[in-house]
Amino acid sequence: GDSVTQMEGPVTLSEEAFLTINCTYTATGYPSLFWYVQYPGEGLQLLLKATKADDKGSNKGFEATYRKETTSFHLEKGSVQVSDSAVYFCALLTKGGGADGLTFGKGTHLIIQP
Amino acid sequence: DSGVTQTPKHLITATGQRVTLRCSPRSGDLSVYWYQQSLDQGLQFLIQYYNGEERAKGNILERFSAQQFPDLHSELNLSSLELGDSALYFCASSQTGIAYEQYFGPGTRLTVT
């Protein structure tokens, strides 16, 4: 079945550091890919998405590129802030055939220190 | 604020009991999804309803059931509760049955003692 693998944290960085959170996937067909963020005590918020190969999703300084050849969707940000501290989930959605729910990775807890 | 509401925020109950979780989707959204978040299993898709009808099933136990009412709100019923059912239960909604953008509620934390 479909699956998402992402680096497990916690990942601790200093403010203004460069961020990469790795995400790879296994899926039948051609999935859409997503990054969601969960702040403490809150639900998940869609951060960015890409629906086909080579698409780049971006939002709030975060970027991720859909790489079909490496089945990856790594999240990057050039300069992180303390307010970026949260749990980040990579997810996929397989079009057609079967469940339309998102398949999530385990989540990466990001801690940014001032 | 995503516009998706869930009640109650917290629920504590005993093993063997039955509970009902409620979700109101964003205005105009026809699809409702239920997810379970636990330390063991992570975030798992349970079930989807679209305009009142069940559309997709994920890893939902037979002890769990859901429905979506004519006003589009949804309820998740959990019965014969076990300790392992303790988790955060999220509801999400989307405008159509094609779930490229799902908006999540704040969740209901269920504790089974």
pLDDT of amino acid B99: 60
Mean pLDDT of chain A, nearest integer: 91
pLDDT of amino acid B39: 86
pLDDT of amino acid B83: 96
Q: How many CB atoms lie within 10 A of CB B34?
A: 24
pLDDT of amino acid B79: 97
State which residues of chain B have pLDDT below 70: 97-100
pLDDT of amino acid B98: 63
The residues with which A87 forms a beta bridge, in sequence order, are A38, A109
Mark yes or no for CB contact B42/A105 under 8 Å. yes
CA distance B105 to chain A (A): 6
pLDDT tens column, A58-88: 999 999 999 999 999 999 999 999 999 999 9
Dihedral pair phi/psi, residue A83, rounded to 5°: -70, -10
Mark yes or no for CB contact A43/B106 under 8 Å. yes
pLDDT of amino acid A101: 80
| Candidate from B42, B58, B90 with C-beta closest to A44 | B90
Mark yes or no for CB contact B98/A46 under 8 Å. no
Q: Closest residue of B to A32, CA-based?
A: B100
Q: How many CB atoms lie within 10 A of CB B75?
A: 16
| Candidate from A44, A49, A104 with C-beta closest to B100 | A49
| Residue B99 DSSP one-character state | -
CA distance A29 to chain B (A): 16
pLDDT of amino acid A41: 83
Q: The tokens 């934390």 sit on which residue?
A: B109
* A108 and B CB contact within 8 Å: no
| Residue A47 DSSP one-character state | E
Mark yes or no for CB contact B106/A93 under 8 Å. no
**Residue B79 and residue B63: Cα distance in Å, rounded?**
5
pLDDT band with cut points at 50, 70 and 90 for residue A9: confident
Residue A96 reports pLDDT greater than 60: no
| Residue A84 DSSP one-character state | G
Residue in B6, B14, B3 with CA at minimum distance from that of residue B83: B14
pLDDT of amino acid B96: 75
Q: Which two tokens stand for residue A33?
A: 């890919």
pLDDT of amino acid A95: 64
Using CB atoms within 10 A of its CB, is residue A14 exposed (0-12), middle (13-18) or buried (19+)?
A: exposed
Contacts of A41 in chain B (CB under 8 A): 106
Q: Which two tokens stand for residue B56?
A: 């997709």
Q: The tokens 């990057």 sit on which residue?
A: A76
Q: Dihedral through CA B21, CA B24, CA B30, CA B34, nearest 10?
A: -30
The residues with which A48 forms a beta bridge, in sequence order, are A35
Q: Which two tokens stand for residue B84?
A: 């392992």
